[in-house]
Amino acid sequence: MVSGDLELKAHVEEQLSVDPILDAASIGVSVRDAVVTLHGYVRSFSERYAAEEIVMRIHGVRALVNELEVRLPADSERRDEDIARTAASVLLWHSAIPEDRIKVEVSSGWVTLRGDVDWHYQRVAAERAVRDLMGVRGVSNQISVANKALKAEIRDRIHEALKRNAIMNAQGVRVEVEGDKAVLSGTVQTLERRLEAERAAWNVPGIAHVDNNIRVA
pLDDT, position 2: 66
Q: What per-residue confidence (pLDDT) applies to 54?
A: 94
More confident residue, 168 or 171: 171
Single-letter amino acid code for the residue at 156: D
- What is the residue extent of each domain of the chain? 3-70, 75-145, 154-216
Specify the fold of 75-145.
Histidine-containing Protein; Chain: A; (3.30.1340)
Which fold would CATH assign to domain 3-70?
Histidine-containing Protein; Chain: A; (3.30.1340)
CA atoms within 13 A of residue 14's CA, in its CB half-sphere: 7
CATH of domain 154-216: 3.30.300.130
Q: What is the mean pLDDT of the chain?
A: 87
Measured distance CA(197)–CA(212) in Å, rounded: 8
State the pLDDT at residue 151: 46
Beta-strand (E) ranges in the chain?
A: 27-32, 35-42, 63-66, 69-70, 102-107, 110-117, 138-145, 173-178, 181-188, 209-212, 215-216
Task: Examine domains 3-70 and 75-145 and report if their fold is the same.
Answer: yes
76-90 mean pLDDT: 96
CB 76 within 8 A of CB 43: yes
